Chains A and B, each alone.
Chain A
Amino acid sequence: MLSGELVRARSHPALGRVAVAIGLALVIAVAMGFLLVPIVALVTYQPPGRLIDELGSPVTTQAIVVSLKTNAAAMLLTLALGTPLAYAIGRHRFRGRRLVITLIELPLVMPPAVAGIALLVAFGRLGLLGHVLSVLGIHIAFTPTAVVMAIVFVASPFYIRGAIGAFEAVDATLLDVAGTLGAGPLRRMLRVALPLARVGLGASAALAFARGIGEFGATILFAGSFPGTTQTLPLAVYSLFDANLDQAVAVGVLLLVIAGAILLTAKLLWSWPGSRST
């Protein structure tokens, strides 16, 4: 019986290939469908005109403003602090380097809710540093500053990790030559390393920005969800979910468009011709 099947299979090799192809096509269709159906459902939930009207409501416009402000501030902080840090790690070999990189990567795998709680018990009124801060009259928790901190904590590792790789990829000889041509450490970084790493830095920044725009868990625990001050777009989706599903879906579509645009930007940057060296 078994040998008979083998003989038949061998005598019709084309049939076997067709069966494999059909099977593969089915698997691909199911997987893609699973990923695409929710997106299609979100976008087609209401007609486009209605969607734009919903986005004009006060709650949504407030959330857009809060999201833009806090993410812009978080991005600036991430670039200003993350770039020199990534440069130092990317261009130097030192004891404990891998440990430092692992620590930077920790927020990537930490559940966002845990990040929020951690920030709260560190900087909240009763937290580790919160007491000292409140003596100084500084209150961070449940303010826009808390939103910015939550975003930086969760999203900056995306940038720093990519930036380390981008700086590592810069040809060491060029930095050496820059030194012999009279350039000190700062000029070597600004005039040689930064321009040569710019594509990798840009793509990493885009990914970090995407992560920041979508930040939810850490923000809601550390900053709360107060419309106009700490309620970002993802938090607005959550709070509108009960009250006004149409609006929640509209904000969802907006976030989807932003995320898609950022992903496309990052991909275009990576595939930029000759972006690595010229």
Chain B
Amino acid sequence: MARLEVDVALGRRAFELRAELALEAAETMVLIGPSGSGKSSLLRVLAGLERPQRGRIALADELWLDTGRGVFLSAERRRVGYVPQDYGLFPHLSVAANVRFAAGRSRPDLLERFGIAALARSRPGELSGGERQRVALARAIAREPRLLLLDEPFAALDAVTRIAVRDELGAALRELALPTLLVSHAFEDAALLADRVAVLDAGRLAQVAGAAELVARPATATVAALTGANVLAGTATATARGCRVLVEGGGELLSDTTAQGPVTIAIHPWELAIAETGSSTLHDRVVGVHPRDGGLLVKLERFSVQLRRDAPAAGSIVAGASVGLRVEPADVRVLH
């Protein structure tokens, strides 16, 4: 089956984008990373819209790029389904004509399949965000692509539509069973849609793994921050069973990981517990409390803590109060 192999280097203004990836047939990989980390550029390189200085891209037996051998297939010869941010629908063409542009003939079956047959004569300007995504996807599929590239498919949507559209896209991707690379800045999208997640940071792949693995064992501070962990700097002193970390801003924590010297620590909000100030070696001040995911998210000056609604201390947490924090040494990840 069609396996995608990528190894490219593209000079950018701020950094050089370098990425080495392999995508299995029918695998959905979500590419996440901070703004400006090179996610969209990587997608454009794969689509043939940018020409890297060095590299090789191969999809199964097809060679799309090999700078060493002077091979460069332009976008129109690659058979990729590329859906840019805001979907890139042709505003002067009807829905049916947009799909026909890619197929070279009418494809009422595709309009039917994506539930847009009733909109065939509409112009993109008349469609909702969700409908636009369906048209863009139908048009990309009309190209009969061997690789699907989706750039921030939910960026233009409001919070409510976003969830519905994401579920719909997830179902469509499973059905299409194409190697797919989807760019997002939200870890939540990645966790829900991806077989594997690739984290791009300043042009480099920081980690490629399943979403659960990124949460449990983030390779870098950026990965940890993207998964929603508390990330803080500190200084470690090795102990018999790991290390003791002096946290920047005051307080200390024990970790099972052996380390010495300046470190970065990552702790997920649900791994922290609010404790009596007297019994704790780490304190912080409450900024605010709001309900989230069936519990409470307590925003502190340095940390975020996710509590169950019925947690013992929940009632007494008010803005301005000083609280103690407790965490299992096994949950204090030390990143170098």
Contacts and interface: CB of A to CB of B under 8 A. Distances in A.
B75 A179 contact: yes
B143 interface: yes
Interface stretch (A111-119, A149-157, A188-196, A239-247): A188-196
Interface stretch (A8-16, A170-178, A209-217, A258-266): A170-178
A93 to B, nearest CB: 14
B48 A180 contact: yes
Contact of B102 (A176, A181, A192, A274): A181
A86 B101 CA distance: 25
B82 A182 contact: no
A3 interface: no
Contact of A274 (B74, B104, B125): B125
B75 A176 contact: yes
A245 B257 CA distance: 103
B336 to A, nearest CB: 40
A180 B101 contact: no
Contact of A192 (B74, B90, B140): B90
B39 interface: no
A192 B140 CA distance: 16
Nearest to B86: A173
Interface string B19-45: 000000000000000000000000010
A278 B91 CA distance: 5
Interface string B125-153: 10000000000000110110000000000
A83 B124 CA distance: 27
A152 B81 CA distance: 44
A192 B47 CA distance: 19
Contacts of A182: 76, 79, 102, 104, 143
A171 B90 CA distance: 10
B92 interface: yes
Contact of B92 (A176, A181, A183, A195): A195
B123 interface: yes
A184 B76 contact: yes
A73 B115 CA distance: 50
A196 B84 contact: no
A176 B143 contact: no
A196 B91 contact: yes
Interface residues of A, number: 19
B123 A180 contact: no
Contacts of B91: 196, 277-278
Interface in B52-97: 74-76, 78-82, 84-86, 88, 90-92
Contacts of B142: 181
A177 B82 contact: yes
Interface residues of B, number: 29
B321 interface: no
A179 to B, nearest CB: 4
Contact of B48 (A173, A179, A183, A191): A179
Residue among A181, A192, A195, A277 having the largest count of chain B Cβ atoms under 10 Å = A181
A28 B84 CA distance: 51
Nearest to A182: B76
Residue among B49, B74, B75, B102 having the largest count of chain A Cβ atoms under 10 Å = B75
B30 to A, nearest CB: 20
Interface in A136-179: 171, 173-174, 176-179
B75 A180 contact: yes
Contact of A278 (B81, B82, B123): B123
B84 A179 contact: no
Contact of A180 (B76, B92, B125): B76
A147 B174 CA distance: 66
B90 A180 contact: no
Contacts of B125: 274, 277-278
Contact of A181 (B44, B74, B101): B101
B221 to A, nearest CB: 33
A191 B102 CA distance: 12
Nearest to B80: A180
B74 A179 contact: yes
15 contacts: A173-B84, A176-B49, A176-B88, A178-B101, A179-B76, A180-B47, A180-B78, A180-B82, A181-B139, A181-B142, A183-B76, A192-B90, A196-B92, A277-B91, A278-B123
Complex A-B, nearest 5 residue pairs according to Cβ-Cβ distance, in ascending order:
A179-B75, A180-B82, A177-B88, A181-B102, A278-B125
Interface of B: 44, 47-49, 74-76, 78-82, 84-86, 88, 90-92, 101-102, 104, 123-125, 139-140, 142-143
Given A177-B88, A177-B90, 20 more contacts: A171-B88, A173-B88, A174-B90, A176-B82, A176-B84, A176-B88, A177-B82, A177-B84, A178-B101, A179-B74, A180-B76, A180-B78, A181-B101, A182-B79, A183-B101, A195-B92, A277-B91, A278-B91, A278-B123, A278-B124
